[in-house]
Amino acid sequence: MAAEFLAANIDRNRNVKKSRISGYVRDIQSDNWVVTGEALKFDVQGRLIDGQNRCHAIVSAGRGAWVLVVRGISEEALVVLDSGSARNTGDMLIITGLAEKADAKDVGAIARLHVAWKAGDVKHAASHIGGSAQLTKTEMAEAVMSIPNIEFAARHARLMYRYLRLPVSALGVAFLEFSALDVDDTVEFFNRIRDGIQNGPGDPFLTLSRRVSNDLQGGASRRILPGQALFYLFRTWNAFRNDETLIKLQIGSPQAGFTPVPTPR
């Protein structure tokens, strides 16, 4: 039926969204597909005017999925279709009680990066989290429920951002990873960042601070990506734990290759 619906797709429909289709496929194949009340819509001429991504996902998944179907939508409805305010991932976390309003955005970002890191998708300092790495709302809910202390990590990361301008998502993931290894060292690590405790050239915290400052000197247009931030934090952590001198944090280049993100030890 989904294939038949696509054959009746309106000519001027929007471009398909491959990342969204991939997410829908995962939900269907993992039995996480939920009937939300959002319908496939056909106009008075029987043409599909809304729902092509869902139809493509059902075809790709090779499995059926329950959806509502509404027929007889007027031509004029195309003008206002999808003009309402869609609920984003943060809205979902608030509505379901998985995160407080003040924490929802950061909880979602931390969960997304944490899942990507655990899945091996943050391989090097230039890794970018986007596209197919985006989680469906069902996957996001499962991720948030599976990560202990993620709300506390979000609040801690937001506080640490005042002292080290790295993405809150990376600061939160670092807190979660480091805490799983050694709570006392985690406290000392972030306290040294907060208090600016640096012991001269070669001190990992001085090197980290200088590298972040240099990266951001280009102005508002400069942005440190989460993968790059994880590299800085994990490399500094390992140097701190091993009493190692750290002179540089080099991310590499497209020509020479980007530096792998180390596993925290």
Q: What is the pLDDT of residues 17-37, one digit of tens each?
A: 888 899 899 999 999 998 888
Per-residue pLDDT at 132 exceeds 50: no
> In the chain, where do the E strands start and end?
39-43, 48-50, 68-73, 252-253, 257-258
At position 93, the amino acid (one-letter code) is: L
Going by pLDDT thresholds of 50, 70 and 90, the confidence category of residue 76 is low
The pLDDT score that the predictor gives to residue 26 is 92
Per-residue pLDDT at 219 exceeds 70: no
Interatomic CA distance for residues 106 and 229, integer angstroms: 15
Per-residue pLDDT at 220 exceeds 50: no
Q: Which stretch of 67-81, 86-100, 155-169 has the lowest confidence by average pLDDT?
A: 86-100
Per-residue pLDDT at 102 exceeds 80: no
Query: What does each C-alpha distance from 128 to 143, 150, 204, 229 come to in angstroms?
Result: 19, 22, 25, 11
The pLDDT score that the predictor gives to residue 99 is 73
Work out the average pLDDT over 58-75: 92
Q: Is residue 38 helix, strand or coil?
A: coil
